[in-house]
Amino acid sequence: MSGKPKAAFFDLAGCEGDQLQIANLEEKVLDLINIVEVVSFREIMKEHSDDYDIAFIEGSVTNDHLAERLEEIRENASIVVGLGSCATIGGINSIRNSQDHEEVKHRVYGDQADLFPSWDKAKAIEDVIKVDYHVHGCPIDRDEFIHVVESLVLGKDPEIPNYPVCVECKLNENICAFERDEFCVGPVTRAGCDSCCVNEGTICWGCRGLIDNPNDDAHSDVLEEYGLSAEEVMKKFNLYFGWQQEARKDE
Amino acid sequence: MSKEVNVDVEYLTRVEGHGNIVVNAKDGKIEKCEWQVVEAPRFFESMVVGRSWKELHHITSRICGICSIGHSLTSLKATEEAMGIEISQQDEMLRKLALHGENMQSHILHVGYLALPDLAGVGSVIPLASSHPDELKTVIGLHRLANDMSKLLCGRTTHPQRLIPGGFSKLPTIEELETLKGRLADSVEDLKAVASFVKGLASRFPDFERETEFFSLGHDKEYPLYDGKLKSSDTGTALVEDYLSMTNEYIVPQSTAKYTKNNREAYMVGALARLNNNYDNLSPMAKEVAESFGLEPVCHNPYMNNVAQIVEVVHNVEDSIRLIDLVLDMGLEEQSPYHQPDIDVRAGRGIGAIEVPRGILFHDYTYDDDGICTEANAIIPTNQNHGNIQYDMESLVPQMLADKTEKEIELALEMLVRAYDPCISCSTHYVDVKFV
Amino acid sequence: MNRHSIYEPENAKILNIREQTEKEKLFEIELESGEPLDHDPGQFVELSIAGVGEAPISITSSPTKEGASFELCVRAVGNVTNALHNLKINDEVGIRGPFGTGFDVEEFKGRDVLFIGGGLGLAPLRSLINYVIDRRDEFGKTAILYGCREPCEILYEDELDQWDEMTNMDLHQTVDRCPEGVCWEGNIGVITTLIPHVDFDPDTTIAAVCGPPIMYRFVMEELKNRNLPDEQVFLSLERRMKCGVGKCGHCQIDGLYTCQEGPVFNYADVKDVEEAL
Amino acid sequence: MISKEDFEAFVERLVKEDHREVVGVQEKGDKFVFDELKAAKDLRLDYDVTILPPKKYFMPQRETLVKYKVKDGHKAVNEITPRIILGIHPYDLEAIRQMDKVFSDTYEDKNYLKKREASVLVGVNIENVSEWCFAGSMGTSTIEEHYDLMLTDIGDKYAIEIGSEKGFELLDEADVMEASEDDISAVKKKKEGVKEKFEKKLDLPPEELPILLERSYGNTDFWKEHSEKCYSCGSCNLVCPTCYCFDVKDFNELTLDEGERIRQWDGCLLEEFAIVAGDENFRENRYQRYRHRFMRKGRYIHDRFGDIACVGCGRCGSHCVPDIADPTEIYNDLKEVTK
Ligand SMILES: Cc1cc2nc3c(=O)[nH]c(=O)nc-3n(C[C@H](O)[C@H](O)[C@H](O)COP(=O)(O)OP(=O)(O)OC[C@H]3O[C@@H](n4cnc5c(N)ncnc54)[C@H](O)[C@@H]3O)c2cc1C
Ligand code: SF4
Ligand code: SF4
Ligand code: SF4
């Protein structure tokens, strides 16, 4: 990329909380537009152009229409970055991947259910197109987003942790959930959030997805030892890992 | 006059989520005038079925990134009601503060970053950086304050962590609350500056009125955001339990979203509706600001929703200072930084109703004995406004056909939709989309 | 090193860049202070690029080289090395070091020397080779065995020619494979196939070996067959490094620190260390 | 000697008046941590163990080593906050002694050493023993040197032992009195008594660890079996007072013209600890990483510095969610199987 790279933001099925994190950069947004030229960002601007180098995509793919859009974006962009869990791992949308789709549809739309174009599973964008980088999290961490942008502009690979959240939990001197009679999926979840949910007194829910090589068998055993039923363990994993676990099975 | 007007705005910008505006008019007659919503369905009401009471607020927070605090709180209220969980007076006040924080954040974002560019005649907030650097800096400062406030109370500004069934997992400290109070007090001048800046541009709001019904929470003593009964400007008050009979979801062939109605074909929710229904309970300074804009109940110009938002932010600030004082006077009760309230899990149904930035929000859950959700319903503010937007358009377009250009019509329509500040991504249910 | 902190790189300037292959470039660098590095063959520096990070790189020039500058031969494989490849002459980098234990030249003196280099392994060896050449009379016979995967990956081509022409210097080269259409008249096969070509006396020879991890096992086997005692083999190992000064722990090979006891080890000391080879 | 009342007043004065930051052990939920003291009454000298050791004050979890301006090159940074640290248990003091050695060996790490110099270490003898602690077996339940001051709780007063000039100066402001014979014997009794309180024990003298570990290095089955449930989460590394491995990363401002090089605690149990460019991992298997930690604690550091790098605090065991990191269990089992 010579000169200022052009960036565009897109959203598929998601809550747009990740784009909000970018708006929430406050003054730093001005620094951001100094190093990349934002040519499309529907949430805050009217202008739009299909001439861009980096595409940031939020949200999951859930139907053919979105998949087509995604493919178009891939063709236009030289770098595609997934923004937030829905895009990077299917996110909360993939809870329903373990549910019966007919039931899912009917519960919400009754007899009009079939009017809906929706796949039976919500998918990470990686399921449809090649994705170059991921900014994980629900929502994304602003500092990590800055790190990724900064790295891409400088032409280096961003450093995204591939160790579990427990690492950050230790650095932050938290009391482990398991010592508080709670259940946590931090031991198999990718760090990078600075263990923010545990810092705030709760547990890690798994929003950044599994690390590359999680010991999930061990973790299922441990959760059961601590008192969850096998079904509850599955639900713990289904909250965010639904799409990922299936994708791993296919490998 | 023979004129053909074609307005087709696909993916309207500067709103959350995806919506299209389609207008075809020939020879002064409208052939088509539609507000379409084309968001892919996400099935939240199904996703939560089978999940534990401990997770519902976490999941439903993800319905909307913009008002995730509101969704979390509504969800918690529903769960707490279903299980008969009481929260302390202190926690209730802190929750109200959290809601003020989100309301400020969302309104400032909307007025400052999304609506202001229309008034200033530019395409986005980015050119404002050079055309109105001081004003923009003030807006950013207020936005940061609102976000810091949300973060302090909720852990995070989007998808809050500290809000849990029964209270808070972690509390702010006394020093933090004192600092916040100071910052809020200091922000008043900035708020006034933004208000007068907008006032200078207010003539650009189209002069358009259409009588409609306003629906919100209502309360005798306070400006209701966290608590209250249901209130309609047409039919008066009702109990929250009866929300279904006041919202009446139905499907219309020419649109995509489920509409709602009560007394008329459609009603409006949001800042203007709240203000129209509860003007007397606004804080003193908020009333002053409303007066300065000539905004008084009942105002039927939907574009004035932007002004109502500014008025509400002033109210949020003033009421927050009052709440912080109350909390500090009572003394902050100590709890563990990993607090888990004792909860007696039981079966039941609960309905939560809260005023979130875009209007009244309902979550309605049923739980079984193990605290597993068996049924859920959510009615989102933006959904409730779709019908009203459609009727506004149908009434606005003919008024403009005679002497306005296609561009002007397009802008007026875009501004109309944006005035409602729709958050389409959070809408939970829609019907099929048909493209023209 | 009298810096404020062992982590503070000293500014240095790129004086010259010579492209070696598609992925390797030779950088001539001089410290801002104008002082020579004062290193031993086989030592390395931590090369820093502000905003990108640091990477350990062997010094490929000999301490006997004229002038204060030194050379690094770098393969572009990741963040720091790619960023370095994007720099131009006169650009600045940061340097810490020299660090580690290099080849003990005293041990080599008076002996015949056998150099065995695989791929980029020739980079650290070149420092020692040129040292030996510059002090030719202090050493006995020398032979260089050098192997690459393909002819296009050959480093220091001009220098290889020079070495080849020297008397008292036996140079053998091989490539693992030669793609069609590429001109290559030399040996084809892995580096161990070169060992039978050299004649050396196990009593008087000392070997310096450097290459990718898998090379070592096969080369050592072959040298053993030729009765070269383990104590007379030195090799250079590579590990992840973050500090270069024995603190960060990344480069540990069981109990040994690559950046302290190494990167050059005596084979006898590491042959039984499981993580070493 | 100092009465508890006077001690509290003394600490309160330090908090209010001393120019240095005063940190001490405080409650966090139902655990304890070292944290900045806001009031003397928050100090809990009867704690069992803290989540992280006081090492964090000399080698912070994240620390800037170098700041750079892309145009001006690099500048070393060392942000030092002078501190008085109250309530360090003997095993942690022993760990600090070991760290001092590591960071001054060969290349002096001034980031650590300068912070260390700027600190006053006030120790306290153990009142309550954590269920995971085995300091008794490691000879670290008491310590006679390497502190500036050492407190022992004897009823309504603290005995104070002075370990250095720094400690002596600190006491300048305290209302101390001379110790009586009784006091001295009470302290002695306390120190003797604590040795008996540990439930966890090592079945062999620590001096035998290097040899035991050397012999069992090749017992791959043993290491595989014990590490089967390992998450590679590094918790056991990160809470350890004698672990000091770190990672270094550059972080740029969005303006791209300046930034910081920071070091952050790392752990040899993490999967990518030994990975190099091209993805070769020199300790690819879980068991190798797991084994490495024990080797390092009981053998490698001993070979290099002469210390057994485990002070028996028990933090690793207590923080390991699958409960496989307790050194006494591993070493005792090893002893069994290597008989
Ligand atoms: C003693 C020694 C001498 C070396 N000599 C040379 C040489 O002369 N020429 C040359 O081209 N390369 C040499 N290398 C390898 C070179 O250090 C790596 O290729 C380089 O670190 C990769 O860094 P990067 O930032 O480009 O890659 P990335 O993959 O982006 O590296 C990320 C981080 O991983 C670490 N890392 C990755 N690979 C290695 C590695 N092999 N060794 C140490 N740390 C690593 C670094 O800390 C780096 O910051 C040597 C390595 C060592 C240990
Ligand atoms: S709370 Fe969760 S993430 Fe943190 S240490 Fe415990 S298991 Fe790991
Ligand atoms: S704490 Fe336990 S699970 Fe985590 S790395 Fe250490 S041994 Fe493995
Ligand atoms: S190895 Fe475990 S018991 Fe030993 S010092 Fe480290 S954390 Fe404490």
**DSSP tag of A60:** B
For residue A194, list chain D residues with Cβ-Cβ distance below 8 A.
none
Q: Which of residues 18-77 of B touch A (CB under 8 A)?
A: 18, 39-43, 45-47, 49-52, 55, 58-59, 62-66, 68
CB-based contact D112:D101 (threshold 8 Å): no
Ligand 1 atom with minimal separation from the C60 CA: 8
pLDDT digits (tens, 9 = 90+) for A46-73: 777 888 999 999 999 998 888 998 999 9
Which-ligand-closest: CA of D198?
4
D330: tokens are 């591993």
CATH number for the domain spanning C147: value is 3.40.50.80
Do D226 and D179 lie in one domain? The reply is no
Q: Closest chain D residue to A145 measured between Cα atoms? A: D254
Mean pLDDT value of segment A235-244: 91
pLDDT of residue A229: 87
Protein residue closest via CA to atom 2 of ligand 2: A186
**CA gap A167, A172 in Å, rounded:** 9
Strand-pair partners of B7: B23
Closest CA to D34 of D326, D198, D239: D239
Q: How many domains does chain C have?
A: 2
**Residue C66: exposed, middle, or buried by beta-carbon count in 10 A (0-12, 13-18, 19+)?**
exposed
Do D158 and D262 lie in one domain? The reply is no
Mean pLDDT value of segment C58-84: 94
Do C154 and C208 lie in one domain? The reply is yes
Would the pLDDT of D62 be above 50? yes
Would the pLDDT of B431 be above 50? no
Do D182 and D291 lie in one domain? The reply is no
Mean pLDDT value of segment D111-120: 95
> Is residue C47 in some structural domain?
yes
Tell me the Cα Rg of chain D. 21
For residue C83, list chain A residues with Cβ-Cβ distance below 8 A.
154-156
For residue A11, list chain B residues with Cβ-Cβ distance below 8 A.
18, 425
Do C227 and C148 lie in one domain? The reply is yes
Mutate to test the interface with A, among C48, C52, C54, C79 (most CBs of A within 10 A): C79
> Is residue D201 in some structural domain?
no
Q: Closest chain D residue to B337 measured between Cα atoms? A: D29
**CA gap A177, A159 in Å, rounded:** 27
Which-ligand-closest: CA of A182?
2
Ligand 1 atom with minimal separation from the C83 CA: 26
Residue D107 touches chain C, beta carbons under 8 Å = yes
Other CB atoms within a 10 A radius of the CB of residue B253 amount to: 6
Asked if residue C212 has a cis previous peptide bond (ω within 30° of 0), the answer is no
Chains A, D: CB contacts within 8 A come to 97
- Report ipTM for this prediction: 0.92
Protein residue closest via CA to atom 9 of ligand 1: C74
C263 lines ligand 1 (CB under 6 A): yes
D68-83 in b/e burial notation, b at 16+ Cβ within 10 A? Answer: bebeebbebbbeeeeb
Pocket of ligand 4, candidates D244, D313, D328: which has the most ligand atoms within 8 Å of its Cβ, to mutate?
A: D313
Do D188 and D218 lie in one domain? The reply is no
Q: Would you state the torsion angle of the CA atoms of residues B52, B53, B57, B60, taken in this order, to the nearest 10 degrees? A: 50
For residue B336, give how far its alpha carbon lies from the nearest alpha carbon of chain D (Å): 5
For residue D29, list chain B residues with Cβ-Cβ distance below 8 A.
336-338
Q: What angle do CA C217, C218, C223 make, to 5 degrees?
A: 100
Would the pLDDT of D35 be above 50? yes
> Is residue D27 in some structural domain?
yes
B150-165 in b/e burial notation, b at 16+ Cβ within 10 A? Answer: bbbbbbbbbbbbbbbb
Nearest-CB residue to A150 (from D31, D231, D256): D256
Do C186 and C221 lie in one domain? The reply is yes
Q: Would you state the torsion angle of the CA atoms of residues C147, C150, C156, C157, taken in this order, to the nearest 10 degrees? A: 110
Mean pLDDT value of segment A106-134: 83
What share of chain A has pLDDT > 70, as a percent?
Answer: 96
Do C48 and C165 lie in one domain? The reply is no
Q: Which of residues 156-185 of A touch C (CB under 8 A)?
A: 156-157
Q: How far is the CA of C1 from the centre of ligand 1 (A)?
A: 22
- Mutual angle of helices D327-337 and D220-227, in 10-degree steps: 150
Cβ distance D28 to A175 less than 8 Å, yes or no, reads yes
D267 lines ligand 4 (CB under 6 A): no
For residue A156, give how far its alpha carbon lies from the nearest alpha carbon of chain C (Å): 5
Do C136 and C199 lie in one domain? The reply is yes
Q: Closest chain A residue to C85 measured between Cα atoms? A: A155
Residue D39 touches chain A, beta carbons under 8 Å = no
The label of the residue with tokens 């650097």 reads B133
Confidence of residue B434 (pLDDT cuts 50, 70, 90): very low
Do C35 and C114 lie in one domain? The reply is no
Do D73 and D188 lie in one domain? The reply is yes
**CA gap A7, A79 in Å, rounded:** 9
Structural domains for chain B: 44-427 (1.10.645.10)
**CA gap C29, C71 in Å, rounded:** 6
Protein residue closest via CA to atom 53 of ligand 1: C238
Which-ligand-closest: CA of D315?
4
The label of the residue with tokens 């910008």 reads B13
CB-based contact C79:A157 (threshold 8 Å): yes
Do C76 and C165 lie in one domain? The reply is no
Strand-pair partners of B351: B364
Phi, psi (degrees; rounded to nearest 5) at B366: -120, 135
Do C56 and C158 lie in one domain? The reply is no
Nearest-CB residue to D239 (from A153, A162, A170): A170
pLDDT of residue B147: 96
Do C220 and C166 lie in one domain? The reply is yes
Side chain identity at D93, as an amino acid letter?
Answer: L
Task: Kindly state the greatest CA–CA separation across chain C.
Answer: 55
For residue A171, give how far its alpha carbon lies from the nearest alpha carbon of chain D (Å): 6
What share of chain B has pLDDT > 90, as a percent?
Answer: 59
Do D245 and D282 lie in one domain? The reply is yes
> Is residue D256 in some structural domain?
yes
CB-based contact B170:B341 (threshold 8 Å): no
**CA D71, chain centre distance (Å):** 39
> Is residue C23 in some structural domain?
yes
Mean pLDDT value of segment D266-292: 91
Q: How many domains does chain D have?
A: 2
Identify the three-state secondary structure at position B57: helix
C168: tokens are 């008292």
Residue D28 touches chain B, beta carbons under 8 Å = yes
> Is residue C223 in some structural domain?
yes
Do D179 and D221 lie in one domain? The reply is no
**Range from B44-48, B157-161, B252-256, C22-26 carrying the lowest mean pLDDT:** B252-256
Instruction: Compare B3 and B154 and report the one with higher pLDDT.
Output: B154
Cβ distance D246 to C6 less than 8 Å, yes or no, reads no
Cβ distance C51 to A154 less than 8 Å, yes or no, reads yes
D186 lines ligand 4 (CB under 6 A): no
Would the pLDDT of D230 be above 60? yes
Residue A153 touches chain B, beta carbons under 8 Å = no
Confidence of residue B13 (pLDDT cuts 50, 70, 90): low
Side chain identity at A223, as an amino acid letter?
Answer: L
User: Which residue range is the domain that position C50 belongs to?
Assistant: 10-99
Residue A19 touches chain B, beta carbons under 8 Å = yes
Would the pLDDT of C158 be above 50? yes
**CA gap A238, A245 in Å, rounded:** 9
Sorted by sequence, the CB contacts under 8 Å of residue A107 that are 6+ apart come out as: B43, B45, B46, B49
Do C123 and C22 lie in one domain? The reply is no
User: Which residue range is the domain that position D322 belongs to?
Assistant: 206-337
pLDDT of residue B245: 87
Would the pLDDT of B160 be above 90? yes
Among D146, D172, D194, the domain-final residue is: D194
Do D44 and D184 lie in one domain? The reply is yes
pLDDT digits (tens, 9 = 90+) for C179-211: 888 888 888 888 888 888 888 888 899 999 999
The label of the residue with tokens 């952050």 reads D264
Cβ distance C51 to A155 less than 8 Å, yes or no, reads no
**Range from B16-25, B290-299, C132-141, D95-104 carrying the lowest mean pLDDT:** B16-25
Among D194, D218, D244, the domain-final residue is: D194
Structural domains for chain A: 6-153 (3.40.50.700), 165-250 (no CATH)
For the entire predicted model, the pTM comes to 0.93
Identify the three-state secondary structure at position D41: helix
**CA gap B38, D58 in Å, rounded:** 57
Residue B161 touches chain A, beta carbons under 8 Å = yes
| Beta strands B267-268 and B213-218, pairing class | parallel
**DSSP tag of B180:** H
Phi, psi (degrees; rounded to nearest 5) at C165: -80, -15
The terminus-to-terminus CA distance of chain D in angstroms comes to 49
Other CB atoms within a 10 A radius of the CB of residue C2 amount to: 4
Among D194, D225, D243, the domain-final residue is: D194
| Beta strands B19-26 and B4-9, pairing class | antiparallel
- Half-sphere exposure in the Cβ direction for C56 (13 Å, CA): 27
Do D160 and D262 lie in one domain? The reply is no
- Mutual angle of helices B133-154 and B174-201, in 10-degree steps: 150
Do D189 and D63 lie in one domain? The reply is yes
For residue B13, list chain A residues with Cβ-Cβ distance below 8 A.
42-46, 48
> Is residue D199 in some structural domain?
no
**Range from A27-31, C262-266, D89-93 carrying the lowest mean pLDDT:** A27-31
**CA gap D310, D313 in Å, rounded:** 8
pLDDT digits (tens, 9 = 90+) for B127-139: 888 888 898 999 9
Which-ligand-closest: CA of D320?
3
Phi, psi (degrees; rounded to nearest 5) at D294: -65, -35
Do C141 and C204 lie in one domain? The reply is yes
B141: tokens are 């400062």
> Is residue D200 in some structural domain?
no
Other CB atoms within a 10 A radius of the CB of residue C165 amount to: 9
| Beta strands C24-31 and C70-75, pairing class | antiparallel
C-alpha dihedral sign at C184, C188, C190, C193: negative
DSSP assignment string, D46-67: T-S-BSS-GGGGTS-SEEEEEE
A166 lines ligand 2 (CB under 6 A): yes
For residue A155, list chain C residues with Cβ-Cβ distance below 8 A.
82-83, 86
pLDDT of residue A168: 97
For residue A158, give how far its alpha carbon lies from the nearest alpha carbon of chain B (Å): 24
Ranges of H-type helices in B109-132 = 116-120, 125-131
Do C112 and C225 lie in one domain? The reply is yes
Touching chains, B (3+ CB pairs < 8 A): A, D
Pocket of ligand 4, candidates D99, D199, D316: which has the most ligand atoms within 8 Å of its Cβ, to mutate?
A: D316
Nearest-CB residue to B66 (from A16, A30, A122): A16
Touching chains, C (3+ CB pairs < 8 A): A, D
> Is residue D180 in some structural domain?
yes
D311: tokens are 């002070």
